[in-house]
Amino acid sequence: MLDVCNRQIVIIGGGAVAARKAKTLLEAGATRVRMIARAFDPKMPAGVERITKAYESRDLDGADLAYAATDSPDVNTQVVRDARSRSVLVNRLDEGEPPGDFITPAGWRQGEVVLAVSAGSAALAVAIRDDLATSLDDRHVRMSEVMADLRPQIRDSGVDQQKRAAIFRELASDAALDALARDGEGGLRLWLSQRYPELKL
């Protein structure tokens, strides 16, 4: 879970795998995605800065995150080494050595709810993600949307930290989820105010 909005991201490679990675990053809010490759997949999303050239170590200068996504294990190895020499976190998309510093799990998002699954195998992670997504309770998604406004109000209410923790636990309970599903956000606020009048919601 990393905010990529204002980070300089450099992807080395321009094939289908690199295109999918760029698409995922843009969907996550990335605004500065640069790709270095000799050629680019036709499905490369708009919004990616494309530089047509062979990879050089200096291509990682100024990067916050790097992705080694070429079809050459040797080039990917060099990208990993160059990134580490610059203290840039790097993700290696093939199975070569040395491995990267982080992985991107199989993800699913609805509203404010994000599922992220890693299982040692991309295919297994996707299967687990899909099983979890189909069994997710819609009440949790609705509560996550309400919490975007409610959480800061509770945090800034002046209630002490221990009580705030208790309130947040209660908002995750079936009783709170049922109140929201039955009576909407207004009903949930009334339900919560009756339990904690000091909140003044």
pLDDT tens digits, residue range 36-90? 999 999 999 999 999 999 999 999 999 999 999 999 999 999 999 999 999 999 9
Give the span between the Cα atoms of 133 and 117, in whole angstroms: 11
Cis before residue 98, ω within 30 degrees of 0?
yes
Range 131-159 average pLDDT: 91
| CATH code, domain carrying 72 | 3.40.50.720
Q: Are 31 and 45 in contact (CB under 8 A)?
A: no
Same domain, 61 and 73: yes
pLDDT for position 28: 87
Which among 98, 97, 119, 100 is positioned nearest to 21, based on CA atoms? 100
Does residue 2 register a pLDDT over 80? Answer: yes
| Burial of residue 55, with CB atoms counted within 10 A of its CB: 0-12 exposed, 13-18 middle, 19 or more buried | buried
* Confidence category of residue 200, pLDDT binned at 50, 70, 90: confident
On whether both 96 and 128 belong to a single domain, the answer is: no
Number of domains the chain is built from: 3
- Whether the per-residue pLDDT at 1 is higher than 80: the answer is no
CA–CA distance, 68 with 183 (Å, rounded to integer): 50
Residue 179: the pLDDT is: 94
Are 16 and 84 part of one and the same domain? Answer: yes
DSSP 45: P
